[in-house]
Amino acid sequence: DAKTTQPDSMESTEGETVHLPCSHATISGNEYIYWYRQVPLQGPEYVTHGLQQNTTNSMAFLAIASDRKSSTLILTHVSLRDAAVYHCILRVAGGNTGYQNFYFGKGTSLTVIP
């Protein structure tokens, strides 16, 4: 069962900043928020993850609400290469937790207009 809710699709223009929302109202205290993206004919690509604090890396900024019930992936200066389906998923992280299945729901399909 998906524990996250995302819009089906969003659109942006090259060079703009896009905010991809994700709702996870039933998140548990030990669950991390992960973002992956996937383009056709390729495997999923790790984007970022976080627990409580906002995080940033070369790909994106992840803003996590103070109550952790929602998060927003922020992509700045989007390019055509950022067009993909973005998946927000919850996972318990840590080496001793054993394997957990990935549930990739429909995600948000991001279209980037030149």
Partner 1 sequence: DAGVTQTPRHEVAEKGQTIILKCEPVSGHNDLFWYRQTKIQGLELLSYFRSKSLMEDGGAFKDRFKAEMLNSSFSTLKIQPTEPKDSAVYLCASSHWGLQDTQYFGPGTRLLVL
- Parallel, antiparallel or unpaired: strands 84-92 and 70-75: unpaired
Min dist CB 55 to partner 1, Å, is: 12
Q: In whole angstroms, how close is the CB of 21 to partner 1 at the nearest point?
A: 21
49/68 with CB nearer partner 1: 49
CB contact set of 17 (below 8 Å; sequence gap of 6+): 74, 75, 76, 77, 78
Report the sign of the C-alpha dihedral through residues 87, 89, 94, 98, in that order. Answer: negative
| Pairing, β 9-13 against β 108-113 | parallel
Shortest separation between residue 89's beta carbon and partner 1, angstroms: 9
Q: CB-wise, 42 or 53, nearer to partner 1?
A: 42
Give me 94's structure tokens: 């840590």
Distance in Å, CB of 24 to partner 1, minimum: 15
23 vs 91, beta carbon nearer partner 1: 91
User: Residue 21 or residue 44: which is nearer to partner 1 going by CB?
Assistant: 44
Q: Which residues of this protein are in contact with partner 1, per CB under 8 A?
A: 32, 34, 41-46, 49, 91, 93-95, 97-105
Q: Are 48 and 59 in contact (CB under 8 A)?
A: yes
